[in-house]
Structure 1
Amino acid sequence: MTGRPSVSIIIPAYNEEAVIRQCVEAAIYQTAPAHEIIVVDNRSTDSTAKIVQQVAHEFPESPIRLLRQDEHQGLIPTRDFGLGSATGQVLGRIDADSLIEPTWVERVAETFADPAVDGATGPVLYYDMPLRRFGLKADDRIRQLVLKVAYRQYHFLFGSNMALRASAWAKVADEVCRDEEDQMHEDIDISVHMAQHDMLIRYVPDMIAGMSARRLEDSPKDYRYYVTRFDRTYRAHQINRPLLKIPPLIFMAIYYPAKALRYLHAGLTRTV
């Protein structure tokens, strides 16, 4: 084991005024401070950038950096710009609606103190669903099951809760797919390219990030399209293995029960 590395947090953002403050504040309130907190604004037309500037003013001791990526619209070029601009030894990547747990940076730094680790990901707590801690345990069990069943076949990173060693990102930065037609899961794409270099991605159960379950608001058609991104990502890399069919089947199976639970919770909340 070596000393704990510095951890940058990169947050791509497009019109995220409703959630960006809580996301950045969660990144500030850590048991071990981040090396830097980078928000990359991608042509937002709302108050996203203004809110980040306000948070930076309120917390002048926090290493908040607001960058703009105006050349291309989209998550992938914005993500890549942020990862390429970061100066930490480890690059944590979350979404603008992610709420990392207070120990997140500490857990990431501990994980990457092992020089064999090139990437890490963890479970998700859906903060706008009922029975949140039960949901966290269920999410963790599902992810661990997927990893067990598809060991060394399912290349696993989750975009809302992931970290890469900066040197690992440097090796794959020019290889990852640009996906201009928006067909794939960009996090799985990174994982595949890392696997091609035999890089180790570790699943860390206590590297926890909260996120919104707003994906459940999608229509069944849109949700199915989202889930089938798994298949399109693997096909784009000529990967055809039966066990890789398991993750999308799991995601489809939980859609209707989780959607019903979410609406029930929303209805009860409004009546209280």
Structure 2
Amino acid sequence: MQTAKPSVSIIIPAFNEESVIRQCLFAAISQSEPPAEIIVVDNKSTDRTVELVRQMQDEYPDAPLVLLSQDQAQGLIPTRNFGLDHATGEVLGRIDADSILEPDWVEHLQNAFLDPEVMASTGPVLYYDMPLRRFGLQADDRMRRFVLKLAKKQYHFLFGSNMAIRRGAWEIIRNEVCLDEDDEMHEDIDISVHLAEHALRILYVPEMISGMSARRLEDSPKDYRYYVTRFDRTYKNHKIKRRVLRVPTLIFMSVYYPAKILRRVHQARTKQIVARGGI
């Protein structure tokens, strides 16, 4: 007898995401295997985010698109937690508002969670606003496999733009995850650590691909460095001192300037094409 595929909820925390929320929702709605629900959790947005989500609800009345409001606290973690707590699916997918899921994302997610021992999963990302996108996807995939191999599979790295957790696993760690009120850590790595503390299996799924923006490269070198070194502060907060876990910090720091130059060249060429009427 064939095992039934688990139901999937997609949770999208959102704060002032009017420039990207429609493309994110369209990709979520257009999955080859439809999710049970797509939950946008608005966190006190002051732009047109809420209005655009409601427009999408009107345009796609058959889509399981849900709009929730989390206005008790400002921040990603309380907004994320609110969405995960209110989701009803057996598997809770978590992406960002600038994520663009590949059409078979839910399908690969469901296949991964057919294994009852899998408690969470993550996959590579495709930077859709960078040149050489497919090459970048291959590089991202290889980097994640390399870090996983170095860590000897003791630590898996969930990525907030492309991850999922079984609802039962979330209920186990729900009251343990850090609130990070000083905003110093990577909240997705924090979830990974808490899952590892309970020996809950995280699976890396290379076919589980999500597109995301490289807009982080627009940060100043100082802000980018602070963002990247969240890896180190997260592990330090958990008193984890394995040197190999610094590898992601070193990799992301090393690609900042080359990737920033590539992005600017790509943006300039795109503007030229638009000016010539090519798009």
Q: TM-score, normalised by structure 1?
A: 0.98
Percent identity at matched positions? 66
1-structure distance, mates of 2:6, 2:129: 32
Unaligned regions of 5+ residues in structure 2, if any? 274-279
Partner of 2:25: 24
Contact 1:153 1:244 (C-alpha < 8 Å) held by counterparts: no
Unaligned regions of 5+ residues in structure 1, if any? none
1-structure distance, mates of 2:52, 2:266: 29
In structure 2, give the amino acid aligned to 1:79. Answer: R
Partner of 1:103: 104
1-structure distance, mates of 2:175, 2:3: 28
1-structure distance, mates of 2:253, 2:155: 17
2-structure distance, mates of 1:45, 1:254: 33
Cα deviation 1:6-44 (Å, max 9, x = unaligned): 000000000000100110110000000000000000000
Cα deviation 1:199-252 (Å, max 9, x = unaligned): 100000010000000001111111110111001000100110111111100111
2-structure distance, mates of 1:245, 1:78: 28
3-state DSSP class of the match of 2:255?
A: helix
Partner of 2:265: 264
Partner of 1:182: 183
Contact 2:128 2:212 (C-alpha < 8 Å) held by counterparts: yes
Partner of 2:216: 215
2-structure distance, mates of 1:205, 1:36: 24
In structure 2, give the amino acid aligned to 1:106. Answer: E
Cα deviation 1:37-83 (Å, max 9, x = unaligned): 00000000111011001101110111010000000000000000000
2-structure distance, mates of 1:181, 1:153: 28
Contact 2:155 2:196 (C-alpha < 8 Å) held by counterparts: no
Partner of 2:95: 94
Residue pairs, 1:12-51, within 5 angstroms:
12-51=13-52
2-structure distance, mates of 1:131, 1:155: 27
1:155 Cα shift?
3.2
1:2 Cα shift?
3.6
Q: CA RMSD in A?
A: 0.9
Contact 1:98 1:160 (C-alpha < 8 Å) held by counterparts: yes
Contact 1:126 1:136 (C-alpha < 8 Å) held by counterparts: yes
1:153 Cα shift?
4.0
- Residue 226 in 1 paired to residue 248 in 2? no
3-state DSSP class of the match of 1:9?
A: strand
Partner of 2:277: none
Q: TM-score, normalised by structure 2?
A: 0.96
Contact 1:216 1:255 (C-alpha < 8 Å) held by counterparts: yes
